[in-house]
Amino acid sequence: MGYHGDDVADPDDAELLTRWRDGDRSAGEALVARHFPAVLRMFRHKVGDAADDLVQQTFLTCLEHRDGIRDGERFRGYLLRVGWSRLLRHFRERAGPRGKVDPMTSSVAELAPTPSATVGREDERTQLLTALAQLPLEMQVALELYYWEELTAGEIAAVLEVPEGTVRSRLRLGRDKLRERLALLDPHAPDGEALDQRARAAGRPDP
């Protein structure tokens, strides 16, 4: 993108955002390339073929509102918050006027019972993804942000727009529920750090 060099560190998000606002298109492209994987992970294994469209919508929203993004705000957190909003809208539109989507109780397994990512594969990664999909949506996303994006409880709270204490309690409960769900799929499912390692590995790109 024109920002790499052997002895020059990559610019941070704030610098790229400033350059983008000033008309440097390559800076905007660098931001998109840097955070595209994280945004894709927000939708992957949840919405099937709609994932690409929702990723595009998320970045389009960023483009439309780039001048209003606070300089001190973490750019990735902003993108993920927009993605979370798009994800909820997608499921609510799909449910229709008579449907109900409560992210604290509704799971992806209920909202999208046949996600393409889990068809015909019974390896450990698929079992982990299946167990995640059986958790309430907000709990699932909180765990994914923790394991896959390595966000802190405070950063997750900003994405989900809930108190940090709420996130901490949901992470603890979510980890317990994930272990319980996984044990139903695999009697020899790991616990403790081994479970954490499997959960982190599940966020890697599809083979």
List the domain boundaries for the chain. 11-101, 103-207
Q: What is the pTM of this model?
A: 0.87
> Quick check: 80 and 42 in contact, CB under 8 A?
yes
Report the candidate in 45, 57, 52 with the shortest Cα–Cα distance to residue 82: 57
Domain 11-101 matches domain 103-207 at the CATH topology level:
no
State which CATH number among 1.10.760.10, 1.10.1740.10, 2.60.260.20, 3.50.50.60 fits the domain covering 11-101.
1.10.1740.10
Domain boundaries 103-207, corresponding CATH code: 1.10.10.10
The pLDDT confidence band at residue 178, using thresholds 50, 70 and 90, is: very high
The residue among 203, 202, 207 whose CA lies nearest residue 190 is 202
Average pLDDT, the chain: 88
Helix (H, G, I), strand (E, B) or coil at 182: helix
Q: What is the 3-state secondary structure (H, E, C) of 146-175?
A: HHHCCCCHHHHHHHHCCCHHHHHHHHHHHH
Instruction: Lowest mean pLDDT of 108-122, 135-149, 183-197, name the range.
Output: 108-122
- Which ranges of 46-163 would DSSP assign to H, the alpha helix? 51-64, 75-95, 108-111, 124-133, 137-148, 153-160
Residue with tokens 């989507």: 101
